[in-house]
Amino acid sequence: MAQMSYREAVKAAIAQEMRRDESVVFIGEDIAAPGGVFKTTEGLQAEFGELRVRDTPISEQAIIGAVAGAAMTGLRPIAEIMFSDFFAVCWDIVANQIAKTRYMTDGQCSFPLVIRSANGGGSRFGAQHSQSVENWAMMIPGLKVVAPSSPADVKGLLAAAIRDPDPVLFFEQKSLYGTKGDVPEGEHVVPLGKANVLREGSDVTIVALAAMVRHAMKAADTLQAEHGISAEVIDVRSLVPLDTTTIFESVSKTARLVTVEENPRLCGWGAEISSIVAEELFWDLEGPIVRVTTPHIPLPSADALEDAVLPSASKVVDAVVKLAD
């Protein structure tokens, strides 16, 4: 194992796959010589050259159009959209072309591509640069949707995404870039569609994603220490494909479910998981399913206001204690 930051794990995954497969190419705004606006790609152009690591104009439509064409002609491109909010600029190409063309051509055209993007709040960037948009992506048939919570998962899941035959939207929670953790050395690949049980428990299942995983783990510690409540914490990791098996096994054991998501409350991914669990495990539940979310508002940029609206460990604790009463 090696200690590595979340941002360093991004570079490690891309470098691992570019060394392994010469068809992997990488484009985006300021990702080459500057090393990326979040410094996730430093040194890649120096190692792999200007043909395989290229800066682009400030045009999300051009970036996504280019990787779509590259994938159709046999390459395995990686694109970076600097902020996930900017998917709104190129959503037609993502949702109507990349997601559907393999199906509409009966497999004659495929899109083995990855679109990386910095996602979510907590960094005081305001309403147009802080959105958490996983729910935009997961509603579109034909797209895979991944959001890692740790450096090890960044490296392993991004490697798996690059190898995948289908388009993958890879969301990196920007407030996590500076966090560190143990990462396996050498080749590391984590299969898509497999949730991770980070903490076992018997009284309630807490399901979280990306930055919310840390809040869920902290809440679980508090619940055990102060309330005697044993919480099982599941990191979803992948929304599409979704590992319902792991979630079902946990909820069948604990009989209670709390989801923790950064998405605005209306139509968030937690609502979908809640719906599936209610349909499949209704008679196993001993209480209502509870969702801890961001309110349905644009995120404020003021630090105190942003902290007030985003989910936190204390909000998770309050939700679980109320459920357990």
pLDDT at 318: 97
Answer whether 261's CB lies under 8 Å from 270's CB. yes
pLDDT at 62: 97
Distance CA 296, CA 267 (A): 10
Q: Could you tell me which residues come within 8 angstroms of residue 187 by beta carbon, excluding any fewer than 6 positions away?
A: 16, 20, 159
Mean pLDDT of 89-93: 97
**pTM, 2 dp:** 0.97
What share of the chain in percent tops pLDDT 90? Answer: 98
* Confidence label for 92 from pLDDT (cuts 50, 70 and 90): very high
15 phi/psi in degrees, rounded to 5: -65, -40
Architecture of domain 196-324: 3-Layer(aba) Sandwich (3.40)
Q: Which CATH superfamily is domain 2-183 in?
A: Thiamin diphosphate (ThDP)-binding fold, Pyr/PP domains (3.40.50.970)
What is the tens place of the pLDDT at every residue in 224-235? 999 999 999 999
Q: Token digits for 62?
A: 């051009």
In the numeric block, the tokens 């798996």 are attached to: 160
- List the chain domain ranges: 2-183, 196-324
DSSP letters for 84-145: GGGHHHHHHIIIIIITTHHHHTTTSS----EEEEEE-SSSS--TTS----HHHHHTSTT-EE
- Is residue 131 predicted with pLDDT exceeding 90? yes
In the numeric block, the tokens 């802080």 are attached to: 130
pLDDT at 219: 98
* Confidence label for 241 from pLDDT (cuts 50, 70 and 90): very high
* Confidence label for 325 from pLDDT (cuts 50, 70 and 90): confident
pLDDT at 298: 95
Active-site residue list:
129
pLDDT at 10: 98
The answer to whether domain 2-183 and domain 196-324 are alike in fold is yes
* Mean pLDDT (the chain, rounded): 97
Q: Token digits for 166?
A: 């289908």
Exposure on the CB side of residue 225, measured as CA atoms within 13 A: 7
Three-state secondary structure readout of 230-291: CEEEEECCEEECCCHHHHHHHHHHHCCEEEEEEEECCCCHHHHHHHHHHHHHHHHCCCCCEE
pLDDT at 1: 86
